[in-house]
A and B are shown apart, each in its own frame.
Chain A
């Protein structure tokens, strides 16, 4: 959640400025794509939180899902493959009055961008990361992804995947994320709660979303998940219990948990970076005028 320090002074009361809605660009995803549910949940979350659209930046990398920023009316940065997170971090540190949401796919976040994912979590940067995890590379027409199932046949693995999939939830817990959730794009209402609470959470909020690819993944379909998912909220899970969160993260098979695995309050990177205590960097004075004493060390 953005700090109370406004991004830039404005004369119009914030409550009268538009919140995030759809942009005039229609999504280009395949009909039935799981990502429609995710963009709807992100939009609803921002509406629920009443954050003016000009104070929101949605950042993405490359992949089908990374087109998401274009479909909403906030600011956005559609960057390059795997680098949404460092870009989002830079935006947050440049102006921590902004609400920053990073989005992307499983290849973008857990493959080419895995290093950044881990480090952002240990830093507890105050941003929300929503992954549209379809367990396949869609835009490049169907190769195995870091979350593809062992044995799954894809264009790049015609005889089946021979690597274990990454478990994004366990990885997030191990990396120190302070808000770890999993949603399903077939349940937009539940997903909206997870995303909205993630945005409101102070610190790195990770929401991994089962977002089926209807074109290239015939294994992990909407039906596959509908038959298996259950909600942690209705199973008596205590999200402040990290051991319980670990146990739930290991569940995969006939029953797959969705919901909030873990949440904890910890100082954010922005809290601990003393330079930011003086307000958003973008509004701080810049330059060294009158700082001639800095030259004394060179004498």
Chain B
């Protein structure tokens, strides 16, 4: 696979994410596929931040291994990243900030001195303009045409006053032409391939998917890495008619969403593990009152506050066990933005069809990384029916009526003659309490059991209704990777790398983590030989779930909990080790 990877590093506050995004967007406008990794720390100024834009003619599903071009805004970036620069690569630096010679770099990697500050001073006293000069030089090395870069920069400044745009265009052109004079594009530089692709983060895809699915209400409390779901929705709130409420805490956020859903609106909340811990009692109430709600759980490395800006898949147990007692739920786990868009739509459909909470398991790596998506992959024409179109029979209306599927006719406040009480206490078909004066009386002992059975049997239906496990790669491969969520991406890339080395592997992943359709899962595993579980947590939470639900033991595992996403070379190494 022909690819080129550009890495930019510096301190928080240096504008690394903007530089990275300009490079990333230039690649996606060239019609190339891209994976963009945004790595930062939990600090607003200082610390070390970096961005990797990996562009390719085929589709990269992970940040890949190493980079070809490094634009280092400080010396620390060189120290941290130079070992990851592949032979033939270049490190761009400003000699006014720090000197750099080939001797400081790995063999085959050369420095390129670009006086970015000096260029910036030609235009303004604002040193931030140095970035434009650096981006210009980077673009030249990466094979990005200058006019295309200029289009990206102009768009990124949007409606801001003219001078800033002109300075950026001037400084980036200076950087570009200087590099042109001093050197030549990287051997791996790619050329324009076709129409521009869409470039979005997992969270943007989730927000867009929610709106497309008919979500009209989002309540959320800020928490990394879920906050950007709210940011996208709030920025578009008026244009798409979605109410966005920043709640006082996550307890309020989930209750607001449940309240909106109860009154006839598709509603969602999004958070990370800590906020989700606060939502658990509300989640159970949604299960008990059979009120649909979609909850995005963008995991980050725990426990407790953990590593707020680093990734992990350590909340699966929490998602499975959230809430006292037992109630039906589904957990969907998309692996990239295109999948996240569709999974969010699925989550709303499942929540509404089965009248129960549906969790969308994301994590820092999916939520905040960006990937290219083809326009055809984002179909906005999702049929959204009014929730009021079906009016239950007013005679003897029973909101929690026993049915074959466990799903009962749902009425909404404002519909005459169907008034009912949704209760978090155990209740009968009409919603009247069993808990207070009827609990323990023989008739009501059996009613309680029937009501539990009614709710819980929805799980069987969800297991058949939710997306099944997916097999990818050659049938009959001697090694099968078993994985879920954002980790699927690096595994996909590893399968390609292994194939290049003549080693056939395939992968089995789970867009629906729960409930598992045990028969379908066993059938899928009947096609595997040696299995290797890959997930980002300490204890192999999904492996345990799989064992509990199906009795299937996986042959080997590769678990990671250092806060970093999986990189393909690590998976390749582990695969070679176990087979």
Interface residues of B in 426-454 (CB under 8 A from A): 432-433, 436-437
Interfacial chain A residues near B265, Cβ < 8 Å:
94-95, 281-282
Q: How far is the CA of A211 from the CA of B538 in the complex (A)?
A: 53
Known A17-B416, A70-B421, A119-B252; judge A285-B241 contact (CB<8 A): yes
Interfacial chain A residues near B240, Cβ < 8 Å:
288, 291, 294
Contact (Cβ within 8 A) B259 A77: yes
B267 at the interface (CB under 8 A from A): yes
Known A8-B412, A98-B414, A281-B217; judge A93-B281 contact (CB<8 A): no
Contact (Cβ within 8 A) B248 A119: yes
Interfacial chain A residues near B204, Cβ < 8 Å:
298
Interfacial chain A residues near B252, Cβ < 8 Å:
83, 85-86, 89, 115-116, 119
Interfacial chain A residues near B238, Cβ < 8 Å:
274-275
Contact (Cβ within 8 A) A281 B433: no
A53 at the interface (CB under 8 A from B): yes
Total number of A-B contacts with CB less than 8 angstroms? Answer: 225
* B286 vs chain A, min Cβ distance (A): 10
* A281 vs chain B, min Cβ distance (A): 5
Contact (Cβ within 8 A) B416 A52: yes
Contact (Cβ within 8 A) B432 A90: no
Q: How far is the CA of A288 from the CA of B419 in the complex (A)?
A: 32
B559 at the interface (CB under 8 A from A): no
The 8 A CB mask of B234-255 against A (1 = contact, 0 = none) is 0011111111010111011101
Which of B200, B242, B252, B375 is packed against the most chain A CB atoms within 10 Å?
B252
Interfacial chain A residues near B386, Cβ < 8 Å:
283, 286
Chain A residue at minimum C-beta to C-beta distance from B412: A282
Q: Which listed segment binds A: B91-99, B179-187, B207-215?
A: B207-215
B257 at the interface (CB under 8 A from A): yes
Q: How far is the CA of A115 from the CA of B211 in the complex (A)?
A: 29
Q: How far is the CA of A273 from the CA of B264 in the complex (A)?
A: 18
* B374 vs chain A, min Cβ distance (A): 11
Known A80-B285, A94-B261, A282-B414; judge A298-B373 contact (CB<8 A): yes
Q: Which of B28, B267, B419 contacts A73 (CB 8 A)?
A: B419
Q: How far is the CA of A77 from the CA of B434 in the complex (A)?
A: 15
Contact (Cβ within 8 A) B424 A93: no
Q: How far is the CA of A286 from the CA of B422 in the complex (A)?
A: 25
B387 at the interface (CB under 8 A from A): yes
Known A7-B414, A291-B380; judge A89-B419 contact (CB<8 A): no
B555 at the interface (CB under 8 A from A): no
A25 at the interface (CB under 8 A from B): yes
Interfacial chain B residues near A89, Cβ < 8 Å:
245, 252, 256, 259
B262 at the interface (CB under 8 A from A): yes
Contact (Cβ within 8 A) A86 B243: no
B216 at the interface (CB under 8 A from A): yes
Contact (Cβ within 8 A) A76 B251: no
Contact (Cβ within 8 A) B413 A28: no
Q: Which of A10, A92, A94, A294 contacts B416 (CB 8 A)?
A: A10
B456 at the interface (CB under 8 A from A): no
Q: How far is the CA of A88 from the CA of B114 in the complex (A)?
A: 60
Chain A residue at minimum C-beta to C-beta distance from B196: A299
Known A90-B262, A91-B262, A281-B265; judge A287-B424 contact (CB<8 A): no
B199 at the interface (CB under 8 A from A): yes
Chain A, interface size category, equals: 35 or more
* B37 vs chain A, min Cβ distance (A): 18
Interface residues of A in 24-79 (CB under 8 A from B): 25, 28, 52-57, 59, 62, 67, 69-70, 73-79
A235 at the interface (CB under 8 A from B): no
B198 at the interface (CB under 8 A from A): yes
Interfacial chain A residues near B414, Cβ < 8 Å:
6-8, 54-55, 95, 97-98, 282
The 8 A CB mask of B383-411 against A (1 = contact, 0 = none) is 11011100000000000000000000000
Chain A residue at minimum C-beta to C-beta distance from B418: A54
Interfacial chain B residues near A284, Cβ < 8 Å:
216, 241
Contact (Cβ within 8 A) B198 A78: no
* B542 vs chain A, min Cβ distance (A): 30
Q: How far is the CA of A17 from the CA of B418 in the complex (A)?
A: 12
Contact (Cβ within 8 A) A98 B413: yes
B425 at the interface (CB under 8 A from A): yes
Interfacial chain B residues near A28, Cβ < 8 Å:
436-437
Known A54-B419, A90-B259, A98-B413; judge A281-B243 contact (CB<8 A): yes
Contact (Cβ within 8 A) B264 A94: yes
Contact (Cβ within 8 A) B415 A8: yes
Q: How far is the CA of A262 from the CA of B490 in the complex (A)?
A: 62
Contact (Cβ within 8 A) B248 A115: yes
Q: How far is the CA of A85 from the CA of B256 in the complex (A)?
A: 9
Interface residues of B in 212-238 (CB under 8 A from A): 212-217, 219, 236-238
The 8 A CB mask of A87-120 against B (1 = contact, 0 = none) is 1111111110110000000000000000110110
Q: How far is the CA of A84 from the CA of B146 in the complex (A)?
A: 58
Interfacial chain B residues near A275, Cβ < 8 Å:
237-238, 241-243
Contact (Cβ within 8 A) A278 B260: no
| A interface residues (Cβ-Cβ under 8 A, vs B) | 6-8, 10, 12, 17, 25, 28, 52-57, 59, 62, 67, 69-70, 73-80, 82-83, 85-95, 97-98, 115-116, 118-119, 273-276, 278, 281-292, 294-295, 298-299
The 3 tightest CB contacts between A and B, nearest first, are: A90-B259, A7-B414, A94-B263
User: Can you add 8 more A-B contacts, CB < 8 Å, to A57-B413, A74-B419, A115-B252?
Assistant: A56-B413, A57-B263, A85-B252, A90-B219, A90-B261, A93-B259, A282-B412, A286-B216
28 contacts between A and B (CB under 8 A): A8-B388, A53-B419, A54-B414, A54-B416, A56-B413, A59-B259, A75-B420, A78-B423, A78-B433, A83-B251, A86-B252, A90-B263, A92-B263, A93-B256, A95-B263, A95-B414, A115-B248, A116-B252, A274-B238, A281-B216, A282-B263, A282-B265, A282-B412, A287-B213, A291-B240, A294-B208, A298-B200, A298-B373
